[in-house]
Structure 1
Amino acid sequence: MSYRYEAKGPVLLANVKPIAFGASTPNGPIDILINADGRIAEVGPSLAVSTEVQRIDGNGAWISPGWIDLHVHIWHGGTDISLRPSECGAERGVTTLVDAGSAGEANFHGFREYIIEPSRERIKAFINLGSIGLVACNRVPELRSIQDINLDRILEVYAENSEHIVGIKVRASHVITGSWGVTPVKLGKKIAKILKIPMMVHVGEPPALYDEVLEILGPGDIVTHCFNGKAGSSIMEDEDLFDLAERCAGDGIRLDIGHGGASFSFKVAEAAIKRGLLPFSISTDLHDHSMNFPVWDLATTMSKLLVVGMPFDKVVEAVTQAPASVIKLPMENRLTVGERADFTVFDLVDADIEATDSNGDVSVLTRIFEPRYAIIGAEAVSASRYIPRARKLVRHSHGYSYR
């Protein structure tokens, strides 16, 4: 069946199976009629509607609340690694993108004007603790010293942009903070407490130690790259760290995948899930250096969690209900007449695709999520997985890498 179809309401979504709509999720296939104003007009099985309505037959595909990617980098033109929202948004089945700290207080106004406001996807953001954000990611670290942080300006920028900013982002690894260790996490937590918003912390090469970070965080805060395979930062190489992560997750600290180019391990994820420790949310950490290899897109990242043992329904919840709670996006009554339409239509299909984690380990994906449409208001956007281009060897001053 061809899915290269784009419509603007009124639209009838026919023969779709709801999932992840909470306790009120209907059983069995339904139809959804969306008015030209983008709001739900009618929901039910086999709706009889006017022939003037543009009909999209889901042929039994799944429909969920619109997928949310809780960790992307989309300050395109404002940082040297960011993608355009269109590269990882609606055309990949994702209706909400959450930028994880690309912009700091010094340049958030540009991110708002040139990215958030024009985008058809819903865009939210974690503001970087460092003033410059990820302007020249890693080449010019944003947290080298206390001079890189302006607490007063962060408070001012949040006040001016509270409808867009959902939290504070801190990258806590030695390639960013050097010998500063865990101190930036403490400063970020203080600001998050003042503003009553969560903090997302990147864990990586220690210091800071993953353990130290968890001990600072509280309920509602997020650890991204939770299943990384880096030496000194893997929850599976240290039983005390695993126990601490398990306890913190039980207390409401949210474990986020944040796949990225260096931060997801099949082995760590499979071992943790086998022991009952599931991630709270699944996100990609997509940027220009991770999209072509090894991440691709959110659907493929979801498929990777499926292959290491995460249940299908939990995977879908981890890109809908779970991240929605982080950004305070209401999820009740998403299938109610009068609500604005925000859905992802997708299939789960048999496959035989080799996928790679951030450590270079390969796993064969035998079942894969295939997005078909992103429904944003009255617009039905054809969606599909990203097909990576051939990798090329790039020379750097310190050696070579694949891009």
Structure 2
Amino acid sequence: MPLRLTNFKAVGFDGHATEIHVDADGRIAPGAIDGAKVLDLNGAFLSPGWCDLHVHVWHGGTDISVRAAEAGRPTGVTAMADAGSAGEASFHGLREYIIDPASETIKAFLNIGSIGLVACNRVPELIDWRSIDIDRTLAVIEANRDVICGIKVRASGVIVGSWGITPAKIAKRVAEMTNLPLMVHVGEPPPLIDEVFELLTPGDIVTHCFNGKAAGSIRDTAALFQMAQDMAARGILMDIGHGGASFNFKTARDSIADGLRPFSISTDLHQHSMAKPVYDLATTVSKLLAVGLDFDDCVAATTNAPRSVLGLTGAEGLSPGLRADFTVFDLEEAAIDVLDSQGNHMVMDRVFEPRWTILGEDAQTAARRLPPES
């Protein structure tokens, strides 16, 4: 059914609109449509659809993944990227059972480790040279160019052990060969974070950029932080990737105060992080607002920036002919106690509250799961 959206404040778009008309095919119409259902948004904000650049939704294919719907439209998210749950050996299942049937737009970073996260950390995907099959990885990429948005490597000691920097080097070479960005998970060494940084080129993504792990954080030394700032200035993308172990309030607050703003705000949502400390994308972006990222930067890092990595429309999303893809939300006063990944507390005084998602001609209510006060 056609829709007429009224009574909203548009944010994150190139133009201005007081009404939006969506035709029966789910595309933006240039004017009013007879018989359209009126959706009064009660003065809420309307932005390009929220996009989570780091989730794990290969439910049933890994032991940590959540269902796509748990990370998606019920929490205000219309697009997401699975960040390496599947390697070449299981990508066909992720596509057939998760990506293709989903209401949300789902793309994926292909894990350089063939087995992906089938038994996450219990059986690391990068034990030794047998863990990577370059020929099969290349074949899977070529067969799934429409949904694979990059290569993922977890470059931290609990995964690679004594193999160190080598898996990241292989992953970067495959990314170069296929003209895709590399998303690299940084954390505890080996390898050292500066070894990883030296591999990266514009368009690559550092996820867990504000982790607080000793010898794995951009705040470890002044030289490392300067290196991170220089990389961001050159077009290397800093992604939050909150997760159960990879976001620290002080690291984020100090880095933002010193001028390093994240490119994208993502959750690293999985079964071990969803109940706490992450909850969902709305809670995560509210945390970034609380540590000093301004409202407009929060919106951009949750919409246009990550959407660009997935090849989706963003700021131009009000243009006639484009598919409707919006999140409707409020910014509410609150007093909610939340945790970072190291168990540090913070009280948020303002929170993003999703109300609706509009995807094509389909409008659905959305509601954030409020974290319990503690």
Task: State the shift of 1:72 in Å.
Answer: 0.1
Give distance in 2, aligned partners of 1:25 and 1:288.
39
Give distance in 2, aligned partners of 1:367 and 1:330.
28
- Residue equivalent to 2:194: 211
Q: Does 1:349 align with 2:332?
A: yes
- Residue equivalent to 1:20: 12
> What's the % identity of the aligned pairs?
57
| 1:215-254 equivalences in 2 (<5 Å) | 215-254=198-237
Moved more, 227-236 or 92-101: 227-236
| 1:125-144 equivalences in 2 (<5 Å) | 125-144=108-127
- Residue equivalent to 1:159: 142
Task: State the shift of 1:194 in Å.
Answer: 0.3
| Match for residue 23 of structure 2 among 10, 17, 35 | 35
Unaligned runs of 5+ residues in structure 2 are none
AA partner of residue 276 (structure 2): F
Q: Does 1:122 align with 2:105?
A: yes
Q: 1:235 to 1:333 in 2, by over 3 A?
A: closer
Q: 1:390 to 1:349 in 2, by over 3 A?
A: closer
AA partner of residue 374 (structure 1): T
Answer whether contact 1:66 1:94 (CA < 8 A) is retained.
yes
| 1:177-196 equivalences in 2 (<5 Å) | 177-196=160-179
Give distance in 2, aligned partners of 1:116 and 1:390.
34
- Residue equivalent to 2:3: 11
Task: State the shift of 1:328 in Å.
Answer: 2.3
Q: Deviations over 1:203-227 (max 9, x none)?
A: 0111111111111110000000000
Give the count of matched residue pairs: 374
| Match for residue 299 of structure 2 among 310, 313, 316 | 316
TM-score of the superposed pair, with normalisation by structure 2: 0.97
Task: State the shift of 1:332 in Å.
Answer: 5.6
Q: Does 1:60 align with 2:50?
A: no
Give distance in 1, aligned partners of 2:225 and 2:132.
32
Give distance in 1, aligned partners of 2:369 and 2:165.
36
Answer whether contact 1:292 1:389 (CA < 8 A) is retained.
no
Give distance in 2, aligned partners of 1:251 and 1:359.
30
Q: Does 1:386 align with 2:374?
A: no
AA partner of residue 70 (structure 2): E
Specify the SS of the correspondent of 1:110: helix
Answer whether contact 2:264 2:301 (CA < 8 A) is retained.
yes
Specify the SS of the correspondent of 2:302: coil
Task: State the shift of 1:74 in Å.
Answer: 0.1
Task: State the shift of 1:88 in Å.
Answer: 1.0
Unaligned runs of 5+ residues in structure 1 are 1-8, 392-403
Give distance in 2, aligned partners of 1:254 and 1:75.
24
| 1:256-335 equivalences in 2 (<5 Å) | 256-331=239-314, 333-335=316-318
Answer whether contact 1:19 1:25 (CA < 8 A) is retained.
no
Specify the SS of the correspondent of 1:226: coil
Q: Does 1:198 align with 2:188?
A: no
Specify the SS of the correspondent of 1:216: coil
AA partner of residue 15 (structure 1): N
